[in-house]
Amino acid sequence: MSRIAYVNGRYIAHRDARVHIEDRGYQFADGCYEVVAMRNGVFIDAGLHLQRLRRSLAALSIAFPMNDAALMVVMNEVARRNLVREGFVYLQITRGVATRDFAFPGKARPSLVMTARSKLLVDPKLMASGIKVITIPDQRWARPDIKSVSLLPNALGKEAAKKAGAYEAWQVDRDGNVTEGTSSNAWIVTKAGEVVTRQADQGILNGVTRLGLLRVIAASGFRLSERPFSVAEAKGAAEALLTSSTNFVVPVVRIDDTPVGDGKPGPLAKKLAASYADYAAIGGSDKS
Ligand code: PDD
């Protein structure tokens, strides 16, 4: 099957999909994106993704002239044309094409690109083994809460993880606290049984999976604290996990060279992963 992409109003063969070399996304990373997971042909928390997209666009002063209902039509169509039932849609909006100049152009039309890919969102192998993370300094700009396409530090971090035989890199701020992964949010479970994840301030992306898991935790009655945690606290924790749209909830069993707990996926991490999968199976909280 040949893949189909959406580019500014047209569905075209993926191999022929192009944007102009003076698109500001290419020149300045002047744009933002979303990765929306789909399971059983249903988007998971699409409403929260679109809400975050609107927030990112507003923060970058990109006036995007398509409403959420129209965006959903295109998202569903891109998934359908690529035969995706389980996987994700990637959606990117940039400020558009303009002669290279740092200041915003007078009248550029925002570019919208979408692709879709099938992917197993709950990988039984990863769930059984758990994953290793390394820790790296957080070298990003000061607004990672905006889901911008400016992802070079994230790519460098993921490459460092790969070279170290790890799955993810947890970024660490100047105070020694974990901010988040390069493409996921970070969580621990303390020995006292409290689930901890950093508060969603300007220092992290407020993950849609993070928000979904917070709802699952609230409904299950587990103890939760949204606060900073240090690398030392994470290494001494009972359990650790990460969340993202493309991996849902995955147990973390090693941080740098330190096993977390007994070095196996923890019981609460497994429970949360299963509960989140149930939550996702019906489209999350908004069933879009
Ligand atoms: N990344 N933090 C960062 C830096 C991320 O890039 C992501 C997602 C997350 C988790 O957010 P969510 O639960 O909404 O997926 C946290 C996506 C999957 C990506 O860039 O491919």
Q: Is the CB of 243 under 6 A from ligand 1?
A: yes
Q: Is the CB of 205 under 6 A from ligand 1?
A: yes
The helix (run of H) or strand (run of E) holding residue 103 is: none
Please name which of 234, 262, 238 lies closest in space to residue 170, comparing C-alpha atoms. Answer: 234
Please tell me the pTM assigned to this model: 0.97
**Tens digits of per-residue pLDDT, 167-224?**
999 999 999 999 999 999 999 999 999 999 999 999 999 999 999 999 999 999 999 9
Q: Which ligand 1 atom lies nearest to the CA of residue 90?
A: 21
User: How far does residue 34's CA lie from ligand 1's centre (Å)?
Assistant: 8
Q: Which ligand 1 atom lies nearest to the CA of residue 33?
A: 20
pLDDT at 107: 85
User: How far does residue 127's CA lie from ligand 1's centre (Å)?
Assistant: 19
Tell which one of 214, 245, 250 to mutate to probe ligand 1, the residue whose CB is within 8 A of the most ligand atoms. 245
**Percent of the chain whose predicted confidence (pLDDT) is above 90:** 95
**Tens digits of per-residue pLDDT, 204-214?**
999 999 999 99
**Mean pLDDT, residues 144-164 taken together:** 98
Catalytic residues: 147
Residue type, 70: A
**Mean pLDDT, residues 138-159 taken together:** 98
DSSP states along 209-271: HHHHHHHHHHHHT--EEES--BHHHHHTSSEEEEEETTTEEEEEEEETTEESTTSS--HHHHH
Residue 171 main-chain phi, psi, to 5 deg: -90, 145
Give Cβ neighbours of residue 10 (< 8 Å, ≥ 6 apart): none
**Tens digits of per-residue pLDDT, 74-83?**
999 999 999 9
Chain centroid to Cα 170, Å, comes to: 14
